[in-house]
Every structure is written in C-alpha cells, then in structure tokens.
Amino acid sequence: MAESIPYFHIILPIIIFFTRMLDTSLGTLRLVLIGRGNRKAVRVIGFFEVLLWITAISQLIQHVNHWSSYIAWALGFTAGSFIGFKIEEKMALGKHQMRIITPQPIEEFLEALKSLNQGYTVFDGVGANGPVKQIFIIVNRKHSKEITELMRKHIPQSFCSISDIQATDSGVFNSKKREFALSGLLLPLRQGK
C-alpha cells in the first residue's frame, strides 16, 4: 500500500483536477453560448463536457476514501470556472447593444463612428436636467471597448448602458476585423450592409 501513496495523493488528484477543470471550462462556455443561441456549438461542447465529467466523477467515486481527490475536485471546479469565463471573454462572440444618453454635442463622436463604419441611430430626448441626445448602437462585442473609449473622448459627460443581444438581421458594423465562425459551429455571421 505504501507504493500507491504517490498515486492516490499526487497523480490521481492531478488527473481529477485537470479533468474537472476542463469539464467546468467547457460547461461555462456552453452556458454562455446557450445565451447566444449557438445550438450547434452547444451540442458539441456538451458532449465533451459530459464525457470529461463522467471521467472525473468516476475517479472520485472509485477513491472515496482519499481526501486529496475531494480537494482536487473543488480546485478543478474553481479553476475551470475562471478559465471558462476567460476563454469566452477572449472569443468575444456576439453583439452588444449600447445606449448612450448625453447632453453634450455629439457630431465629433458620430464622425468617429462613421470612420469605423459603425452604424448608429440618434433620438432627441429630455432628461432630468433638460434636452439630451440618445445614441443607439449595435456593435460587435469585440469592438465595444473601442466604442466606449471614443465615447469617453468625445462625450465624457454621458450615460451608457450595454447589454448582450442574441442576433441581428442586418446593420452597419465595424468591419476592421472579421469575426471567425469557429469551424461552422456558431451561428452564421453576416457582414453589415
């Protein structure tokens, strides 16, 4: 039994940790893609997620008397959640809906948006302190920071709310960088008109 101590307290926990980390990373990514309506990617990711989960849980159940396996399971879950969100953040799939409300002149900001081939819609409004302009933008998610920086530069006294949207039918989008279709697993991505 002394020969197996390194296996039960070092090798097995490492296997459980990495398997659980991968499974949780895929699970986190799958949940995000469900919200984006990417059904094909969800099915493929779900298959591998469950396969890895079964592998990890079977090892844990077979070795229920070894506390190090439980620690590895919990650490793998924690690391997998963090990694899953980082992967999704780097992929930056989908689109954001930005609503900007400002009392400031917006002409320079709109010109900056036009130079990026970014569409927008402007409405007149009235706020608590008087007249405002409302700027409505649908932006590729990976360009949200760029638009936010332009807003801070040109109209710093603005209120901005950002929310995710599942899909768009058409529009004018910043086309400097093209989104990839992840081997055809994601919703077809359309270029703006």
**pLDDT digits 0-9 by tens, 96-134:** 899 999 999 999 999 999 998 898 999 999 988 899 999
Q: What is the mean pLDDT of residues 74-84?
A: 92
Residue whose token pair is 């709109």: 110
Alpha-carbon span 60 to 108, nearest angstrom: 60
- For the chain, give every domain's residue range: 2-91, 95-175
pLDDT at 110: 94
pLDDT score of 173 more than 70: no
Strands 95-102, 130-140: parallel, antiparallel or unpaired by DSSP?
antiparallel
pLDDT at 80 > cutoff 60: yes
Residue 156 exposed, middle or buried by CB count within 10 Å (0-12, 13-18, 19+):
exposed
Domain 95-175 in CATH 3.30.70.120: yes
> Regarding predicted confidence, which is higher, 3 or 163?
163
